[in-house]
Structure formats: structure tokens, C-alpha cells
Structure 1
């Protein structure tokens, strides 16, 4: 069930089921006002200090998520949880009002929304004690007009997703309507609300990420640099692509983090020798070719998109056998050090 201002949202006023509900929600005065307030918040840039000393030892603790990952964090252990690099993806947040437990997912495909929401809710600690849940959606943009939204169920990596943003947002709303939990919408900065034009007139997202301040539940625009997208950055990036050929992850979000222990437990994912051969072919492409082949929004990607793609391919070429990365098919486990870095167990 969807709530706005503490009251059930009247879906009967919608023009066409979940699509109409999404548009009606985006036009709701309370959510329009919330979007304006969200846009007025300065973007926080997360970066790990290079120097030693008090600044480094006292830096805040955060949990970072890549595409198709989710994690649930406890305010007693973590200061922030967040994600970025979203173009046609959606940063989706659920917070339990009573406990402060917060789950964030970087959703990239309509076909992972149903199971993904189950994963997020089942990871809450005693979440059933309070079914009043605050919801925030940030990301996606008007890659095409909503009137031309595609019904594709592929991923952001599939390469043929005209109107993908609208399809993904619509699917999320559809699933929230059908569930029994009370989802109280607080932020809905998606599609038209999250679209700007660059100097060449191309549509781009205003915000590519968010962070949740665990102590207050406040959601802010956020970006993360390479130092703060940790631990195990390259392996986790590769899992995103590899998961589409690894059927154990069909319709699921990727598991990353243990809420109770504040450790990353990166579940294994299989990749094939075929991906190593593809990596060898792709690394010879020009930067512009990489953008148009590997992204559904080539004009909206961050400056480091191509570099990150090339780093993935080099890893696959050097480690074509996934069992080298996940020996005995066990998770890769990382724990925080005293100064806030991560070390592999």
C-alpha cells in the first residue's frame, strides 16, 4: 500500500493502473514540494582522506552499493548508506521508522523489482514489528517521453531499452501498490523531476546517487569517488555483468553486506570464458564505441565510465576462471579496520 501525508494514496484517480499511479504521485503537491526541497540540498561528495591522523581515524562509516546490489544497514553501526552512477537506474530506499534500519537498492531492471523488494524487507531486523516504512526513489530520467515507455524487462546493460527509466519506475510502483506493508512516500525525484539538458541539448539526470544519514533518516544527493566505492570494487562491478549469465541470480538483487556484523560478504557469482573473450574484443574499441555499446544512456554517463569498463575487462582477461576469485565458491569477506578501511578476511 502506498501512503502520502499519512493517508492511503487513492489509486482510483489514476488513469491507467501503475503507470497512471506513478504520474499521479509525481504530480502530488506534497511530493512535488519534497522534490524541490531535495534538489536544494547540496550534493555530498564521499571520499576517503589520503592522509593519516585525526581526520582519517574519525571519518564516518558508510556502506556503498553498485548497480543491482542491495544492502540493509543498522544506525548503531553505520553513519551513511548510499549509491551513485545511476542513469536509467533507480536508487530505492526503505527505512523502518521504529528501528531506523534502512535498506537501499540500486535497481536496474523491472524483472528484479518483485524478488528484490522481498530481499530488502526480509533483511530487516525485526521489521515486522512496524509496517510503517518510509520510501525514497531517486534516479532515472526522461530518456524518452513516458508516452513511449518500453515494456522491456532487460537490464541497463542490455543495450535496447528505449524508455527504460519509465518502465522501471512503473514496475516499482506496481509492486508497492500490491503489497500489504504501508509504504510512506517521502521523496520521488525521478523521470521529469530528475531531468536536465546538457550544453548540447541531451537529456541527463540531475542526480545520479543518494546517501541516507542513518541517525536521522535524511536522504541527500550524493556522489562517491573511486576511493569510496569499496571494498572489492572491480569484482563487484564484474558481478553486475556476470549475473545476467549466472542463473542463480535470475530476478534477484546481488548480496553484499551483513547487517548484523557490519561486514561485506560478497556472494560468489560465476562468469564464463565467453566473457573473457568478449573483454578482449571490447578493449580494442574507441571510447565513443564503448559508450554506445555498453551504455543505454551514452550521453549521460560519468567521465570515468569508460575507464571503469576497461578496468573490468582487464580483470576478466587476467582472471577468466571465476573460481580463482571465489575459491571453493565461498563469499569474499571484508571487515572494517580501526581507521575505517576494509581488509579481506
Structure 2
């Protein structure tokens, strides 16, 4: 994946401390990151919002009449990636697979690592946990989400025990959110994890236990319960192996398409 900043290929520099490189050679990006993280966090509700979970991505166009904002949050050690050209917007909850993409990328905003960091009582915290993208004008803004859409517990099992492939969750042409069938093996230890204290769960099932959002443990517990109830996502979850399909109704809510 060739990456450019101000027409400079920074491929070799990516092996170094990227924040230090930006500070020394591309000060504008550091200034933009500080400016970005200083913006107020906007709360996004259901209407017109498509939430992207970890190891998911979505793609849409400005003329999408069902979706006006794509976004995600709860990123502590993960990265969120937004790709945009003149008419097309991709939204990734970043994973290593992106490095295999062949198209050159111009880095415009880099609010990450040291540039999205604040120290509280000796602990490093992210300043912002999530972002949204306005499809109509391409604006990116710090965001939190009151509604993360359908089947979030099912989608989270993919992160915990499912395959590691990225999942495209949105079909622009049909305006449908689609959760494609995926497989995972039974997880016998899920019941044992469910019996543990909140502290033990955070210390062992989080990459950043000191800075997780308040609902982290409750979300993990719901995921564990789901894995116990559905040891394998068979026909009861994905009838006929078909995706679980949703479309926005007149009130902006995702409604299951049977």
C-alpha cells in the first residue's frame, strides 16, 4: 500500500516512529490532528447512521438516501481508517489486511497514537474513541453512537471467536445492511469466562484494560452468553446460510428483511 504525504512516498518511513516522522517532516498533519481531537464529540442517533464494528467495513456514495453518516467508536488500540475519493467513501475499522491494498493513498488526517493521547494519573488514554463521516460533504468528526445497529452481539462473536476476515456489511445498491454467514468453533471456556469478575475479564480479554469504555465488560458478557447459547452459528442464526438483511424504515431504524 503506497502511502503519500504531500506527494512524498513515506513507505520507508513507516518502519520508524510515524508520529515522530510526521512531527519532524510534516508538521501540518500534527497540527491538524490536534485541531481535530479538540472538536466536540457529536452524538449520532439511529436516523441515517450506519455503525461499523471491529473487522468490518462499509462503502457508500454521497447520494445514498438511506445513510448520511458512517461511523464507529470504542477504538483504544485499534485504528479507524476512512478512504475517500471524489465520490466514494470507504470506512474501515482498521486491520492488517489493509496493507495488502495496491492503490496509492494520500494521508490527509492522522489523529492516532501520540496525536490522540492524554495522560491521566500516569495512564495513557485516547482523547477520542470514535469518529463519524458525513457522506454528503466528506467531513470527519469525533463521534459517539447511541445506537450501534442490529445484531451487535452476533457481530462481536466474529471478533472473539470467528474468522479474522474483514466483512463488508453494507450494500449501497440495495441500501441494505447485510451480516453474512460466518463460522466459529464451540468455545468451551466461554462459560468459565462468564463466571469471572469484571476486573479479570478486563485484564484478560482487553488489549487496554485501564481505558476501556464503561460498557466494555457488559458487552463482553453478552457476547459470551451468545457463544454459549449458539455454540456454532447454524441455521437458527443464518437460515439456509443466507445473510441477515436489514433496511432502514421510515423512522430511520434498521428493520429485518425476512
Fold conserved between structures, TM > 0.5 = yes
Aligned to 1:90: 79
Deviates more, 1:188-197 or 1:24-33: 24-33
In structure 1, what is the Cα distance between the partners aligned to 2:232 and 2:132? 35
**Count of equivalent residues:** 251
Aligned-pair CA distance for 1:320: 1.9
Matched, 1:270 2:189: no
Aligned to 1:190: 112
Q: How does 1:1-345 map to 2 (within 5 A)?
A: 1-4=2-5, 7-9=6-8, 11=10, 17-20=13-16, 22=18, 23-27=20-24, 28-48=26-46, 60-77=47-64, 78-97=67-86, 99=87, 101-107=88-94, 109-110=95-96, 112-115=97-100, 118=101, 179-181=102-104, 183-198=105-120, 200-225=121-146, 228-243=147-162, 246=163, 249=164, 252-273=165-186, 275=187, 277-323=188-234, 324-345=236-257
In structure 2, what is the Cα distance between the partners aligned to 1:224 and 1:237? 16
**Structure 1: segments with no counterpart, 5+ residues:** 49-59, 119-178
In structure 2, what is the Cα distance between the partners aligned to 1:3 and 1:76? 28
**Structure 2: segments with no counterpart, 5+ residues:** none
State whether residues 71 and 143 of structure 2, in contact with CA within 8 Å, keep that contact through their aligned partners in structure 1. yes
SS in 2 for 1:85: coil
State whether residues 242 and 269 of structure 1, in contact with CA within 8 Å, keep that contact through their aligned partners in structure 2. no
SS in 2 for 1:188: coil
State whether residues 81 and 214 of structure 1, in contact with CA within 8 Å, keep that contact through their aligned partners in structure 2. yes
State whether residues 268 and 329 of structure 1, in contact with CA within 8 Å, keep that contact through their aligned partners in structure 2. yes
Aligned-pair CA distance for 1:240: 1.5
State whether residues 41 and 221 of structure 1, in contact with CA within 8 Å, keep that contact through their aligned partners in structure 2. yes
State whether residues 36 and 141 of structure 2, in contact with CA within 8 Å, keep that contact through their aligned partners in structure 1. yes
In structure 1, what is the Cα distance between the partners aligned to 2:170 and 2:136? 19
Aligned-pair CA distance for 1:19: 2.2
Instruction: Give the root-mean-square deviation of aligned CA atoms.
Output: 1.9
TM-score normalized by structure 2?
0.90
State whether residues 119 and 125 of structure 2, in contact with CA within 8 Å, keep that contact through their aligned partners in structure 1. yes
State whether residues 35 and 193 of structure 1, in contact with CA within 8 Å, keep that contact through their aligned partners in structure 2. yes
In structure 2, what is the Cα distance between the partners aligned to 1:20 and 1:188? 15
TM-score normalized by structure 1?
0.68
User: 1 or 2, which has the higher helix percentage?
Assistant: 1
In structure 1, what is the Cα distance between the partners aligned to 2:71 and 2:23? 23
